[in-house]
Amino acid sequence: MPAPYLRLCNVVKSYDGTSNAVDDISIDIRRGEFITLLGPSGSGKTTTLMMVAGFEDPTSGRIELDGKDLIRQKPYHRNIGVVFQNYALFPHMTVERNVAFPLRMRAVAEREIALRVDEALTLVDLRGFANRYPSELSGGQQQRVALARGLVFRPDVLLLDEPLGALDKNLREQMQVELKRIHREVGVTMVYVTHDQTEAMTMSDRVAVFNQGKLEQVAPPLEVYHHPLTRFVGEFIGDSNFLDGRIERTGRDSILLEGLGEVCTAGAGGSLTPGPVHVLIRPERLRPFENGAAERFAKVVDFTIEGTVNYGDSVLLIGKAAGIHFRMRASSVRYGSLREGMTLRVGWSPADMHIIAKTE
């Protein structure tokens, strides 16, 4: 296991001395990793990023880069690039001068500046735009310029604070692909902040989920999706069905679910220790019951549809079974004709359940 490159150790940030905007955060980030800090507004992710950049000082804790203390270094002494949501380009400078600015501030020779700027603009596919001004560029092109400027001085770490938030959906998705390509080609360590779970799931090597200043889970995207450690993570990442239940004793392959009775847990994942639990079933894991398939299901229920959302390739069915709210995602080709008031027999297998111990 390689040693961590960027380390945040028990980092706390308080603005008023009574409550913590960032509350005892510890993350080890590998060299060359793309890690996303994900969470709702006010969860502490941007404050954490700003402490790494040096724009905020932690109240306590340590931040280290390659074994060296970052906190004692001024922001302009840290070899860290930052890309903001609002681009922060100089409107009176051409694209070339915007990208060259960090190099000129570092007194790099003009010949070297020309080579590096050309290299950076080629990387972001803007080589022919060097003499244009920001006002002559689209939003996506301006974001590429900001990205080139953040990479041109070859930073140790590149920090990105919701850089795609101002773009429309199609352009945002295009830029997600471009960012991953650039990360692969350059290999720089990237720390990305967003509240958009799709961005986090699409681009990240790992996702760090923040909630009210605390770190709930750090794991690869699919692990966070399929095996959340807390109910908050399960609800924030993707769509979900949560049921309340209780495990009576260790070694018993069943669980008591409120309103549904005893359900088999053989093959279920998560916490199987006795006590109250949350049971997560993703909407796409609910499947129509077909005769002769009973042995594959842990439970079968009569699901009455109360509403539908058609996404084109799939349809989200919203309704109730045994008085419990359920959401089911299915093929729109096969189930797109279902309407409010219809009833469908659906079920799930034990392996479709992820069990989380209740902590409250």
Question: CATH number of the domain that 278 lies in?
Answer: 2.40.50.100
CA distance 346 to 321: 9
Residue 280 shares a structural domain with residue 220? no
Residue 25 shares a structural domain with residue 90? yes
Q: What is the mean predicted confidence (pLDDT) over 105-121? A: 95
CATH number at residue 207: 3.40.50.300
pLDDT at 313: 87
pLDDT at 51: 97
pLDDT tens per residue across span 329-352? 988 888 878 889 999 999 999 999
Number of domains in the chain: 2
pLDDT at 292: 57
Residue 314 in this model has a pLDDT that exceeds 60: yes
Q: Which of 182, 200, 231 is the last residue of a domain?
A: 231
For residue 110, give every residue at least 6 positions away whose Cβ sits within 8 Å of its Cβ, in sequence order, or none: none
pLDDT tens per residue across span 62-85? 999 999 999 989 998 899 999 988
What is the extent of the structural domain holding 293? 239-357
**Is 253 part of any domain?**
yes
pLDDT at 252: 66
Q: Which of 231, 262, 297 is the last residue of a domain?
A: 231
Residue with tokens 């706390």: 12
More confident residue, 291 or 61: 61
Handedness of CA 16, 19, 20, 23 (dihedral sign): positive
Q: What is the mean predicted confidence (pLDDT) over 222-244? A: 95
In this structure, what token pair is assigned to residue 242?
């949560």
Residue 268 in this model has a pLDDT that exceeds 70: yes
pLDDT at 360: 62
pLDDT at 168: 82
Query: Of 148, 159, 147, whose CA–CA distance to 47 is shortest?
Result: 159
Residue 210 shares a structural domain with residue 258? no
pLDDT at 174: 86
Q: What is the mean predicted confidence (pLDDT) over 94-116? A: 95
**Is 216 part of any domain?**
yes
Q: What is the mean predicted confidence (pLDDT) over 315-334? A: 92
Residue 1 in this model has a pLDDT that exceeds 70: no
pLDDT tens per residue across span 169-203? 888 888 898 899 999 999 999 999 999 998 999 99
pLDDT at 42: 92
Residue 222 shares a structural domain with residue 243? no
Residue type, 144: R
3-state secondary structure of 57: coil
pLDDT at 266: 83
pLDDT at 16: 92
**Is 41 part of any domain?**
yes
Residue 294 shares a structural domain with residue 180? no
Residue 225 shares a structural domain with residue 259? no
Decide: 201 and 228 in contact? Cβ < 8 Å: no
Residue 115 shares a structural domain with residue 208? yes
**Is 26 part of any domain?**
yes
Q: Which of 198, 231, 264 is the last residue of a domain?
A: 231
The CB density around residue 184, as the number of other CB atoms within 10 Å, is 10
At 149, the pLDDT band (50, 70, 90 cuts) reads very high
> Residue 315 phi/psi, 5° resolution?
-130, 135
Residue 43 shares a structural domain with residue 175? yes
Residue 166 in this model has a pLDDT that exceeds 80: no
CA distance 130 to 171: 21
Residue 295 in this model has a pLDDT that exceeds 70: no
Residue 164 shares a structural domain with residue 313? no
Least confident of 93-107, 204-218, 327-341: 327-341
Mean of per-residue pLDDT scores for the chain: 91
For residue 18, give every residue at least 6 positions away whose Cβ sits within 8 Å of its Cβ, in sequence order, or none: none
pLDDT at 69: 94
pLDDT at 264: 84
**Is 1 part of any domain?**
no
pLDDT at 183: 94
> Residue 38 phi/psi, 5° resolution?
-120, 135
Residue 89 shares a structural domain with residue 208? yes
Residue 219 shares a structural domain with residue 244? no
Residue 243 shares a structural domain with residue 227? no
Which letter does DSSP use for residue 285 in this model? G
**Is 295 part of any domain?**
yes
